[in-house]
Each structure stands twice: as structure tokens, then as C-alpha cells.
Amino acid sequence: MTLSVRVKITLICIAIVFIAVGASTTFDSVFFVRQYSRALQARAFVIGKVLESQLNRLLHLKIPINNLVGFDEQCCDLVAKHRDLSYAMVVDLNGKILFHNDPSRRNKVLSDPNLLSAIKGSENVSQTYSSDGAQFHDFVIPVFGLHGEHIAAVRIGFPSALVSEKTKSMVSLSISLALLSLGIGVVLLVLALRMWVTNPLSKLVTAIQDVREKGADSAPLVQINSKDEIGQLASHFNQMMVEIKESHQKIKNYTEQLETKIQERTADLKATNEQLIRDIAKREQVERELRNSREQLRNLSAYLQAAIEQEKASIAREIHDDLGQNLTALMLDTSWLKKRLPENEVPLIEKVNSMSKVIKASIQTVKKLSTDLRPKILDDLGLTAAIEWMVEEFRNRTGTKCKTSVDVENSILDQERSTALFRILQEALTNIARHADATEVKIELREDHGQVSLEVVDNGKGIRESQVSDPKSFGLMGIRERVSMLNGEVRISGTENKGTSIKVDIPL
């Protein structure tokens, strides 16, 4: 079933109104219950205070409360005056009913623990109370003697159904008014939609059908004078029709001009071909210059790598020599200070011990930073010892079994190649620790036919081909760049669940 726009809008508005009415009714009922309960409580305490004040006037005559006679009539008058009041009574602190609007309940003893607790309290109390299957809003007002002592309490109660009846009455009235407003609104909405929406849209539909059947050149313009969105739509439609007619005329003119331009373009194409030949020759020159630029960039990269290594070594020395010595001196000072502190200065001794721990941790951090920047062993003992140290550190850190074979004399390697091989092995071991999940690593360094070869093989999960060529694999890119600067070759391969192999050959 196809619904018109008017019906759809009407249904949407009705749905919105129903939702609003439901939400408003729910909110109003909750709000009414809360406010009416508060008002009932305030009213109850006022009524209770009236009964309490009457009782106080009698007590001021110095008549003991247990000797009062006829106060039941006061309770009856109070219930008769307030017809929605269920009961009014006076009870002593033990729960015994001294006076009641129903004389038959006099001298009975209350046993409900909540009521007894409220009666014995010195504050006004409101609570819900059930008796004989009926539920009441119960209010307790304490009564004090001539000397301010707590001697009894006034209890009054309203039926709980009073709140629900008031709420139902309010909700019924609210729903009736809402439905009446809804009916009037729907009628007005239908009339307004017909005048402002349906009729103008019908004119637009008729105009579109005329365009489809007769063509834009013969279709009449739409006559809608409103300034709303539909009027704007009609205005844009009329403007579009005018523009279409103008476009048809322009197309005819452009067709004639196009034939003339084709001849002109043919001549231009011949000239373009000649220019293209010249551009190709120029491109070849640019490519040669690009190759030269790449070579210069490679040389610059090699220079930067050397400069970085030198700067790392310099920073490592400064950290080790200056900061390390200062921390060692601080360590000795704290030890000297600890020995001279009296044994009873426990807080100072604990503070010195804490300082010693911090200084020791800082010394270890300095050592680690210095080693990470530039291992001193590489400069002092050469590549062979540096590799053995690095492998031992890797084994201790990861628990991975390592097999190392080094068959190269330190004397045949210059500082540039030693540093490059050390950093390549360092990057390879870092990748194994991060990604390979390997249990065994084999490292082999040897000199063979005028070149030095480094091979690192693990038994991990194996590198994928996509990872080998991934431009975001910066570690592998660094290995390739170092090897390329020394005119060497690098081969990286992996087999799933069998491991990864990195082999580097660098000419001597």
C-alpha cells in the first residue's frame, strides 16, 4: 500500500504527539505522586501538631498523662474534621494506646518494632504501616513533658490508597485533555497539509509529467506563489526549465563551433607530437641527473651514518665518564654519611638507604644508556668480542639458545665495516626478540674470497614475503641501507613456522 505525503506526515505527527503525551503523563504522574506525598506529609504533621498542642495544654495543668480523661473525644473530633484521616491516637513510650478515636482500641499495646522505634524517637517520623490487610501512611509526633522529657507520641494515619486515587484522577484528566487536543490538532493538520503541501506538490508532479511527455521546450512553468521550501522548489524547477531551454540552444551553437575547432586541434596535435619528442630527450637527461642525485644521497647517507656513530660514541663517553663518575661519587658520599649517622637516627638512615638505591639504579641506567649508544667493547676489543658480548646479552635477556661461529680477524675490518656489521646483527637480534618467537638462533661471521659474510638464522615462525617488502619495516630498511652504502648484498627469506634467514655479504 502506497501512502501519500500528507498521510505520512499526519501519521508521524500523531506518533510524536502520542509519545509526548505518554512521556508527559508518566512524568506528571511521578511528579504528582512525589509532590502530593510531600504535601500529605506536611499536612499530617500539622494535624498531629494540633493534637499534640491540645495535649500539651492539659499537661501544663500538671495532670499526669495517664490520668487524663476524655481525650479520646479530641481524637474523634480530629478524624471527623479530616474525613480522609484513618486514625488518631496517643501512645506511651512502651507502645500502649492511651487515647484513640476508636475507644475499643484503648489500652492495647503495639508490637510492630518499626512503630516502637519511631514512638521512642524524639523526632517526627513518617513511614508506611500495614494493619489488618490495609496499608497506611503513618506519622509519629513526639510529646514532651513539662521538663522536656519524652513521655508519649501522637500517631495519625492516612490510607495509602488516597495517593493512588488522586494520581489516577489526575492521569485520567490529563489523558482526556491530550486526546481532545490531538483530535483538534489532526483536523487542523490535515487542512494545513492540503493547503500548503499536497496541492503544491500535485502541481509539481503535473509539471514534471508534462516535461517527460512534451519536452522541456513545450512544458509550461509551475505557478506556485508560496515562499516556503515547496515554493523555493517550484522556483528552482522553473529556473531549471529556463536553463534547459538555453542549454539546448547552446548545444546547437557548440556543435557548429566544434567542427571548426577539430581542424584547429589537428594542427595543434602535430605540433604537440614534435614537442613530445623534445620532451622525451629532456626526460632522458633528467633521469641521468636523477641517478647522479641518488648516488649523492647514498654518499650523504653514509656520511650521516658515520657522523651518528661518532656522536653516539661521544655521548656514550660523556655519560660514562662524567655522569657515571658523579653518581659513583654520590654513592660514596651516601655510604660515608650512613657510617657517621647515630643508630638512633632511624628516619635519616632509611632516607640515606633510599638515596643509595636510587643512585645504584641511576648508575645501572647510565651503564645501559652508554652501552646502547656505543658499546665500548667494540672500540676496545674489536668486532669479534663485541659480537660475543651482544649474543651473551641476548641469551640472558630472552633465554634463547644461541650458537655463534666467528672466523674473521679484527685486523681485516676497518671501523666502518665493523660498525655496520655490529649494527646489522643488533637489528637482526632485536627483530628476533620482538617477532620471531624463536627458541634457537645461529650466528655465523666469516671471511670468504675477499668479502665478509654475516648470516643469522632462527627457528621462529618465519617472516612473510609481504613483510620483507613492506615499506614500513624500518629495521629491514636500515639493514639494506647499511649494506648498500658498502656496496654489499643482503638476502632476507623466511619459511612459515620454520624460521627466518638474513645473509649479508660485504666486500673488503
CATH topology of domain 379-507: Heat Shock Protein 90 (3.30.565)
Q: What are 210-265's pLDDT values in tens digits?
A: 777 676 666 677 777 777 777 777 777 777 777 777 787 788 788 888 888 888 88
Lowest mean pLDDT among 26-35, 65-74, 455-464, 485-494: 26-35
* Residue 146: band (very low, low, confident or very high) from pLDDT cuts 50, 70, 90: confident
In percent, the amount of the chain with pLDDT more than 90 equals: 13
First to last CA, the chain: 87
What per-residue confidence (pLDDT) applies to 501? 94
- The CA–CA distances, whole Å, from 33 to 42, 43, 366 equal 14, 15, 72
How far, in Å, are 47, 90, 100, 508 from residue 96 at the CA level?
A: 21, 9, 11, 113
Q: How far does CA 144 lie from the centroid of its chain? A: 59
Alpha-carbon gap, residue 376 to 383, rounded angstroms: 11
Q: pTM of the entire structure?
A: 0.38
307: enclosing H helix or E strand: helix 229-318
Which residues lie across from 505 on neighbouring strands?
Answer: 453, 489
Average pLDDT, the chain: 80
The answer to whether residues 454 and 425 touch, using CB atoms and an 8 Å cutoff, is yes
Average pLDDT over residues 342-359: 82
Tell me the pLDDT band of 31, cut-offs 50, 70 and 90.
low
CATH of 5-170 among 2.60.120.20, 1.10.730.10, 3.30.450.20, 3.30.420.40: 3.30.450.20
| Domain residue ranges in the chain | 5-170, 379-507
Confidence label for 400 from pLDDT (cuts 50, 70 and 90): very high
293 φ/ψ angles, rounded to the nearest 5 degrees: -65, -40
Q: Is the sign of the CA dihedral 409, 411, 413, 416 positive or negative? A: positive
| pLDDT of the residue at 373 | 60
Please report which confidence band the pLDDT of residue 278 belongs to, taking 50, 70 and 90 as the band edges: confident
Q: What is the spatial distance between Cα 477 and Cα 468, in angstroms, rounded to a whole number?
A: 9
In angstroms, the CA 378 to CA 475 distance is 21
Do the domains 379-507 and 5-170 match in fold? no
Q: What are the strands of the beta sheet with 97-100, ordered from one edge?
A: 97-100, 87-92, 150-159, 134-144, 125-131
If one compares 413 and 499, the residue with the highest pLDDT of the two is 499
SS3 503: strand
Per-residue pLDDT band for 284 (boundaries 50, 70, 90) equals confident
Q: Are 390 and 426 in contact (CB under 8 A)?
A: yes
Task: Give the span between the Cα atoms of 458 and 442, in whole angstroms.
Answer: 6
Lowest mean pLDDT segment, chosen from 123-137, 169-183, 284-298: 284-298
